[in-house]
Amino acid sequence: MKYWAYFAAKLAVVAVFLRAVWDVMNRLLPEPPLVLHQHVSRYPQDLVWTSAIFCLFMLGVGLVYLVVWDQRTRCRTCLRHLRMPLAKGTWSKAILLNPPELESICPFGHGTLTESEVHIDGGRPAEWTAHEDDIWKELESLDRKG
């Protein structure tokens, strides 16, 4: 729940920022001049306004992309960025047996994110595996046994 609330909060910040840019654009860019005593619409007829709309659209798409990318690389429990990426699998057996994957873990041991690096079939969605126990305690217990 905290994970999705954080995602929604970031999207809300982006929406507020884009709205502020929209308001600044409306304030700074003048209305197009009258043509034959008629108002023309800003969007398709005015090059400056149309260019500004295009830039605002690209800015919005870029910001939403960054929000989604940032969210995918966060722990589902504590929201910290995942660390220690580990490449697994081989490209020589990429199709069936041992496809290459990238595993990242939460530094506090809450879970592991496994992302497929093979994208020929549209790719598998990233898989989050929550750890039941603290993996660091498990590692310490393995060290004590050995």
In the complex, which residues of this chain contact Zn ion (CB under 5 A)? Answer: 75, 77-78, 106, 108, 110
CB of 80 to Zn ion, least distance (A): 5
Shortest Å distance, C-beta 101 to Zn ion = 20
Q: Which is nearer to Zn ion, 73 or 77 (CB)?
A: 77
Q: Which is nearer to Zn ion, 42 or 112 (by Cβ)?
A: 112
Q: Please count the other Cβ atoms lying within 10 Å of the Cβ belonging to residue 43.
A: 10
DSSP 8-state symbol, 21: H
Please say whether the beta carbons of 48 and 32 come within 8 A. no
- Please report how close the Cβ of residue 47 comes to Zn ion at its closest, in angstroms: 49
C-alpha neighbours within 13 Å on the C-beta side of residue 89 = 18
106 vs 113, beta carbon nearer Zn ion? 106
Helix (H, G, I), strand (E, B) or coil at 67: helix
